[in-house]
Amino acid sequence: MSRPAFALRDAEARLLVEQMAALTLRHAHNVRNHRPFVRDFIAAVFHATGKTYSAPIYRRLLGAYAPERRPSTSTLAAEKTLFEQQLPAMAAVAPLASTPGNAELLSSMLRRVVDEALAGAGSVNGDAGSAQQQRAYTEYLRDRLESAESALAASRASTARLAADLQEAVNTARLYHDQLEVAQAAAAAQATLLGALPQALHDMRQFSLRAIDEVRGETRAVRERCAYLEETLKERETMLETFRQVAYRHGAPIPGQRKGGPAS
Q: What is the pTM of this model?
A: 0.39
* Between residues 234 and 161, the one the model is more confident about: 234
How long a stretch of residues is the chain? Answer: 264
Dihedral sign computed on CA atoms, order 130, 135, 138, 139: negative
Type of residue found at 214? E
| Helices 73-93, 55-65: inter-axial angle, 10-degree rounding | 90
Give the pLDDT score at 123: 47
Contact call for residues 23 and 61 (beta carbons, < 8 A): no
pLDDT in tens, 179-231: 898 899 899 988 988 888 889 888 888 898 988 988 888 888 898 989 999 99
Give the pLDDT score at 124: 44
Integer CA distances (angstroms), 5 to 2, 53, 60, 61, in order = 9, 14, 11, 12
Contact call for residues 64 and 165 (beta carbons, < 8 A): no
What are φ and ψ of residue 140, in 5° steps? Answer: -65, -45
* Between residues 127 and 212, the one the model is more confident about: 212
User: Across residues 61-87, what is the average pLDDT?
Assistant: 90
User: Across residues 31-60, what is the average pLDDT?
Assistant: 90
Give the pLDDT score at 121: 46
The yes-or-no verdict on residue 103 having pLDDT over 50 is yes
Give the pLDDT score at 53: 94
Give the pLDDT score at 155: 73
Q: What is the DSSP string of 62-105?
A: HHHH-TT----HHHHHHHHHHHHHHHHHHHHHTGGGGSHHHHHH
Give the pLDDT score at 52: 92
* Between residues 13 and 252, the one the model is more confident about: 13
SS3 content of the chain, % helix, strand, coil (to 5): 80, 0, 20
The pLDDT confidence band at residue 80, using thresholds 50, 70 and 90, is very high
pLDDT in tens, 226-258: 999 999 999 999 999 898 888 888 877 766 665
The yes-or-no verdict on residue 40 having pLDDT over 60 is yes
Q: How far apart are CA 75 and CA 39, in angstroms?
A: 9
